[in-house]
Amino acid sequence: MRLSNLFGRTLREVPADAELISHQLALRAGLIRPVAAGIYSYLPLGWRVLRRIEQIMRQEMDAIDGQEMNMPVVNPAELWRATGRYQAPAPGAALVRFKDRGQHDLVLAMTHEEVVADLLRQEIRSYRQLPLMIYHIQTKFRDEPRPRGGLVRAREFTMKDAYSCHADAAGLDEFYPRMYQAYVHIFQRCGLEAIPVAADSGVMGGSTSHEFMLPSDKGEDTLVLCPACGYAANVERATLRKVQGNVEPQREMEEVATPDIKTIAELCSFLGVAPQRTLKALFHTTGTGEVVVAVIRGDLEASPTKLSNALGGAELRLSSDDELVRAGIVAGYASPLGLRQRIVADDSITMGGNFVAGANRAGYHVRNVNYPRDFAVTLVTDIAIARAGDLCPQCEAPLQLGQGIEAGHLFKLGTRYSEAMGAMFLDRDGQSRPVVMGSYGIGTGRLMQAIIEQNHDERGIVWPASVAPYAVHLVALGVTQPQVQDAGEELYAKLCRTGVDVLYDDRDESAGVKFNDADLIGIPLRITLSRRTLAEQSVEAKGRTEAASRIVPLSQLPGLIAPATSTIETD
């Protein structure tokens, strides 16, 4: 490809609305262009990178017996109604719903579990057809309320999603590590450092989930890490070792005046008690207007995600003062004592006793509150969020926090979708059973930008050779000189004939402009010819990560280029 004819130009200025360096470089290098908020066009350079990434994915999926297919992005709403996701609080408004001209309800799929389960219902009859794994690379749409970071959090995106289908849970358990390892290979081949972490299953559901996270200070996901034993989890899923509170005999409750005391810190100072001797109540309002109560020990903080999951994926927001008043709740002095609302309690309330809690009237608290003697709850579960310095659940070393970008996600779905859709088969004994499913996704555009996030310097992108848009960036200096022009055309034609992917900068521009563009675009090997090098029957060669160039005789050029070409993934 001649750079003079390449569709898409490089940009000198940093786009004002691009926060991530990878987003900035993707725009400046002419890989993508915005069409609307969270919606992008891939220009030829970006599309070539995407095709390289997709080919790596295909090879790894095929290596574990995956069968590629294609499923539509437009789905009939009845499939999503059957699984409950059409009307569920999550995904909620992110799922785009619309009607066709016949007034049929349709959705834009953000994932394809429903379609897969529907296909299984039609195609699978016997255990002899299982196990199997199918995958596709397809457009998705998620109406994100705040798209950000370019391709990292887009509304329209491309995903490689795969679905494994098994006769039982043991089959899924056996296959899951194979997919896990395939993902490790994909990220390694793309030149990425990815950390697998335990993750929240969220809207997808299922019993087990792992994310592959790319460490980044600008990442929107918080990671909980233990440097001592290697424990790693998304903060939405992470657990911590909760310290046992006091185990003294239960005492009778007594009310105590606490004027103008509304926070845990103020309460502990006023009464001379430790935070783990207190209970705090938090109030959230669901999408239906219901006020729900979260109760947790005073030394811990509650996770909104865990609380939402405990309530079946309910959409939650902090309750307003007016909502608390209407619910009969006294802000700052509330507790589970006597409340009629649904109460979700962290299991820390069982780790201790004789707590101090609100008296549900202004200016008073109650000593010696004990569960379950003094109050009832709807559910006891883990809703605590892990913080830096909390104890690792595996080895009790202090935990650390980091930021990351999610690059891939694995789910053990079980039978949630197959049961809802009636995807049944006959087992060895002739009994009808639901297909056990797994779901595995990688966003291809997000992965492309993540590669840039981890592979760049102050001059531009530094593509790993396996995904670079071209193997060689050929630069001709002084193309208005016949000798240089003829030699450049001859070398370009020769490289193309021998199967080398080459981007030829044949523009009438200065050396500075050409070299700056070469560094910005980030192709692994730059070959420069000029009147000076031609006089020596040589070219100037420079690897993208090398500090200086070197003179290479033209006769040795094939040997120099061959290693770079061999690492490029081709269709």
pLDDT bin (cut points 50, 70, 90) of residue 315 is: confident
Which position has the higher pLDDT, 86 or 565?
86
Which position has the higher pLDDT, 97 or 204?
97
Mean pLDDT score, 538-557: 94
Mean pLDDT score, 476-494: 95
Would the pTM count as exceeding 0.75?
Answer: yes
Mean pLDDT score, 468-487: 96
pLDDT computed for residue 204 by the predictor: 45
- Residue 564: pLDDT above 90? no
pLDDT bin (cut points 50, 70, 90) of residue 206 is: low
Residue given tokens 């892990």 in the structure block: 386
CATH number of 16-72+112-238+401-453: 3.30.930.10
pLDDT bin (cut points 50, 70, 90) of residue 116 is: very high
Mean pLDDT score, 291-308: 95
Concatenated DSSP letters of 49-106: HHHHHHHHHHHHHHHTTEEE----SEEEHHHHHHHTTTTSTTTGGGSEEEE-TT--EE
Mean pLDDT score, 111-129: 97
Going by their DSSP bridges, the two strands 460-461 and 502-505 should be labelled as: unpaired
CATH number of 254-381: 3.90.960.10
All structural domains of the chain with their residue ranges: 16-72+112-238+401-453, 254-381, 470-566
Helices (H), 477-545: 482-497, 511-521, 531-535
pLDDT bin (cut points 50, 70, 90) of residue 203 is: very low
Which residues does residue 283 pair with via DSSP β-bridges, in sequence order? 293
Mean pLDDT score, 299-308: 94
Mean pLDDT score, 111-120: 97
Average model confidence (pLDDT) for the chain? 93
pLDDT computed for residue 433 by the predictor: 98
Biggest alpha carbon–alpha carbon distance for the chain: 100
pLDDT tens digits, one per residue of 400-436: 999 999 999 999 999 999 999 999 999 999 999 999 9
- Residue 20: pLDDT above 60? yes
pLDDT computed for residue 199 by the predictor: 79
Mean pLDDT score, 383-387: 96
Mean pLDDT score, 231-260: 92
Please tell me which of 203-212, 447-456, 555-564 the model is most confident about, judged by mean pLDDT.
447-456
pLDDT computed for residue 567 by the predictor: 60
Percentage of the chain modeled with pLDDT above 90? 85
pLDDT computed for residue 72 by the predictor: 97
pLDDT computed for residue 569 by the predictor: 59
Going by their DSSP bridges, the two strands 279-286 and 316-318 should be labelled as: antiparallel
pLDDT computed for residue 88 by the predictor: 82
Cα–Cα separations (whole angstroms), residue 224 to 347, 406, 410: 20, 14, 18
* Topology adopted by domain 470-566: Rossmann fold (3.40.50)
pLDDT computed for residue 207 by the predictor: 58
Distance linking the first and last C-alpha atoms of the chain: 17
Element (H, E) at 460: strand 460-461
What whole-number distance in Å separates Cα of residue 118 and Cα of residue 159? 20
